[in-house]
């Protein structure tokens, strides 16, 4: 929550000038596009007659009705309590998106037919690759972050070279380099392990910086208090510093994990049968591209949403000691 002013001001969506200007904007945008040929035109048939014959009058009427509906909507939502407002706006946006996808005339039977396979093979592989990379990346990140904060020249040099290199290269090239480059050294690894390796190294490099910032954000006094009791470096790090750094680390870490979940689709270039790969290969021969892509998109979204929920749970868990 932002800092809340103690002086209550009138709700923004109930101010006449705001509602008027919103109406103006929506009205102008709707006038710009000729909507008489769309579903809106059909809905307005009782008023404007045959939409295609209505001309400027029909265009004007449609824009006016949309503008009024929109403004009425936001004014009414303005009366609801906070939680209801959030829920209503979410549902409305979701409905709009579904209506948008419906306009594609997707073949639902095709989706239902392929969905089970998409989940049992694609989703499972994606989750497997992401989860293993997540654990590996966290371990790499903690070690590299401590190395970057240490006064040991070798540790610092190796860690900073690592972060610079793996943050500086596109993930796609890293994946190719590991899959095609390591065999040159005589190390042949399969597609899935090399995908996991590439993801872990890349995400680990980003998370190194997150961990470093988190550890540095802890007051020096905590180190001093801990060391003065007699705790060693490891104990201080594990029991005193990291638990306090976690609340700072979690939001950016959630970010990184969500983007990694989606970056795992790049592993498809190695022929790993994960979600994006399957969506493309199933859609291509039957020209049902859109069906599969949208289904995959929805599945990615649901998985990201799960990570978001996990993140907010964790944040709430660590907010305990901050409550007054």
Partner 1 sequence: MTAGLKSHLKGLDSGDSSQAIGNVLRESLSSQESFSQKHGSMSADIIIEATNVSKWYGTFRALTDVNLTVRKGERIVICGPSGSGKSTLIRCFNRLEAHQKGEITVNGIRLHNKMRNVTEVRKNVGMVFQHFNLFPHMTVLMNCMAGPMWIKGVPEAQAKKTALKFLERVRIPEQANKYPVQLSGGQQQRVAIARSLCMEPAVMLFDEPTSALDPEMVSEVLDTMTSLASDGMTMVCVTHEMGFARAVADRVIFMDWGQIVEEGNPNDFFTNPQHERTKLFLSQILRH
Contacts of 133 (CB under 8 A, 6+ apart): 196, 199, 200, 203, 260, 264
Q: Which member of 219, 285, 287, 316 binds partner 1 (CB under 8 A)?
A: 219
Q: Which member of 244, 265, 268, 295 binds partner 1 (CB under 8 A)?
A: 244
Q: For residue 304, how many other CB atoms are within 10 A of its CB?
A: 16
Q: What are phi and psi of 71, to 5 degrees?
A: -65, -40
Residue closer to partner 1 (CB basis): 121 or 222: 222
CB of 239 to partner 1, least distance (A): 7
Residue closer to partner 1 (CB basis): 62 or 240: 240
Stretch of 43-51, 233-241, 261-269, 293-301 lying at the interface with partner 1 (CB under 8 A): 233-241
Q: Which member of 25, 229, 298, 310 binds partner 1 (CB under 8 A)?
A: 229
Burial 11-50 (b: 16+ CB within 10 A, else e): eebeeeebbeebbeebbeebbeeebbeeebbeebeeebee
263-266: long-range pairs with CB below 8 Å, 24+:
263/171, 263/199, 263/202, 263/203, 264/126, 264/129, 264/130, 264/133, 264/195, 264/199, 265/126, 265/300, 266/171, 266/172, 266/175
Identify whether the C-beta of residue 194 lies closer than 8 Å to the C-beta of residue 270.
yes
Q: Which member of 62, 171, 240, 267 binds partner 1 (CB under 8 A)?
A: 240
Q: Which member of 216, 222, 281, 304 binds partner 1 (CB under 8 A)?
A: 222
Q: Which member of 243, 302, 305, 306 binds partner 1 (CB under 8 A)?
A: 243
Q: Which member of 65, 235, 297, 307 binds partner 1 (CB under 8 A)?
A: 235
Q: Which member of 2, 56, 108, 323 binds partner 1 (CB under 8 A)?
A: 323
Query: Site for partner 1 (CB under 8 A): how many residues?
Result: 23
Give the whole-angstrom CA distance, residue 289 versus residue 111.
11
Stretch of 53-61, 98-106, 113-121, 234-242 lying at the interface with partner 1 (CB under 8 A): 234-242
Stretch of 19-27, 77-85, 224-232, 306-314 lying at the interface with partner 1 (CB under 8 A): 224-232
Which residues of the chain form contacts with partner 1 (CB under 8 A)?
Answer: 219, 221-222, 224-232, 235, 239-240, 243-244, 318, 320-324
């Amino acid at each position: 929550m932002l800092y809340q002013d103690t002086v209550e001001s009138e709700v923004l969506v109930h101010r006449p000038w705001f509602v008027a200007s919103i109406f103006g904007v929506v009205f102008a945008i709707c006038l710009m596009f000729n909507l008489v040929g769309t579903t809106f035109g059909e809905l307005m048939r009782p008023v404007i007659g045959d939409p295609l014959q209505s001309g400027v009058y029909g265009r004007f009427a449609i824009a006016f009705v949309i503008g009024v509906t929109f403004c009425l909507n936001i004014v009414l939502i303005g009366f609801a309590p906070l939680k209801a407002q959030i829920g209503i706006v979410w549902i409305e946006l979701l409905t709009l998106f579904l209506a948008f996808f419906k306009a594609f005339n997707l073949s639902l039977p095709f989706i239902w037919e392929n969905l089970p396979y998409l989940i049992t093979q694609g989703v499972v592989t994606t989750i497997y690759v992401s989860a293993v990379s997540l654990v590996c990346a966290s371990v790499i990140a903690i070690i590299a972050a401590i190395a970057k904060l240490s006064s040991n020249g070798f540790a610092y040099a190796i860690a900073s070279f690592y972060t610079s290199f793996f943050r500086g290269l596109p993930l796609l090239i890293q994946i190719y380099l590991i899959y095609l480059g390591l065999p040159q050294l005589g190390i042949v690894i399969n597609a899935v392990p090399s995908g996991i390796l590439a993801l872990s190294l890349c995400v680990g490099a980003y998370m190194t910086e997150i961990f470093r910032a988190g550890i540095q954000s802890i007051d020096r006094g905590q180190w001093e208090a801990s060391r003065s009791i007699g705790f060693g470096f490891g104990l201080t790090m594990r029991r005193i510093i990291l638990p306090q750094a976690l609340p700072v680390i979690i939001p950016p870490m959630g970010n990184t994990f969500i983007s990694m979940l989606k970056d795992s689709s790049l592993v498809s270039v190695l022929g790993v049968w994960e979600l994006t790969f399957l969506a493309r290969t199933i859609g291509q021969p039957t020209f049902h591209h859109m069906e599969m892509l949208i289904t995959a998109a929805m599945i990615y979204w649901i998985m990201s949403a799960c990570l978001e929920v996990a993140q907010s749970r964790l944040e709430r868990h660590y907010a305990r000691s901050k409550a007054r």
